[in-house]
Structure 1
Amino acid sequence: MSEISIRREHRLGLPRARELAAKWAEDAEEQFGMSCRVEQGTEADCIRFARPGVEGTLTVAGDRFELYVKLGTLLAGFRKRIETEVEKNLDVLLAREAPRLEASRAEAERRAKKEG
């Protein structure tokens, strides 16, 4: 069995990270036929996903995403290609959030100056 492990740091906070993870799970179900189950926690969530030949978890925290995937024998030969695609998709998802996050921070700073 082949394994993939990916970790990405972020500054989204848990509520927004949960929203992105929910979108990720929805896409995984629609595009790849994955069965996803969310286990919500106070500090982090765990999304367990599976389909024939693939199983794994996506840990969703306020400051990071941790993805762990086990590939079955038939998909093990495609491990590098799958890993590259997953990394790219996760990086694109986080890159889209960067401008939104910076705008929110700038707005919070403006409000603080105005109030203070």
Structure 2
Amino acid sequence: MADIEIHRPHGLDLARAQGLAQEWLAQAQNDWGMLCTHSTLSGQDTVTFERVGAKGVLRVDATHFDMQISLGFLLRAYKKKIEDTINRNLDEALGRLA
């Protein structure tokens, strides 16, 4: 079971939503040291990510962003801060692209 679950509808076209997922993937790799894999199937992009203490998946389609993250023992103490940061960053990105 995921420790953090974010389900967010968006008003972007699929190409812009996929572009935002690609931006997130680059930031996750470069800034947070995540190992990421990306796949596209039937109009849905899936990014799996993992690093010490956290792993999860981001799914993006024409209408939603869905993210599930499982946190290790030490990072669970920061769950609220991590979730708030993800939501704030998503709000900013969607506002910028709207």
Calculate the TM-score normalised by the size of structure 1. Answer: 0.80
Higher relative contact order (CA 8 A, sep 6+): 2
| Structure 2 unpaired stretches of 5+ | none
Higher strand share: 2
Higher Rg of the two aligned structures: 1
Q: Deviations over 1:5-62 (max 9, x none)?
A: 0111112122111111001100111110011100111221110000010000000101
Paired residue total: 98
Question: Which runs of structure 1 show a deviation greater than 4 angstroms over 4 or more consecutive aligned residues?
Answer: none
TM-score w.r.t. the length of structure 2 is 0.94
Q: Larger % of helix: which?
A: 1
1:4 counterpart = 2:4: yes
Tell me if the contact between 1:38 and 1:47 (Cα under 8 Å) persists in the aligned partners. Answer: yes
Match of 1:70 in 2: 70
Unmatched 5+ stretches in structure 1: 99-116
Amino acid at match of 1:70: S
Q: What is the aligned-residue identity percentage?
A: 38
Once residues 86 and 12 of structure 2 are traced to their aligned partners in structure 1, the CA distance between those partners, rounded to angstroms, is 19
Amino acid at match of 1:6: I
1:52 match: 52
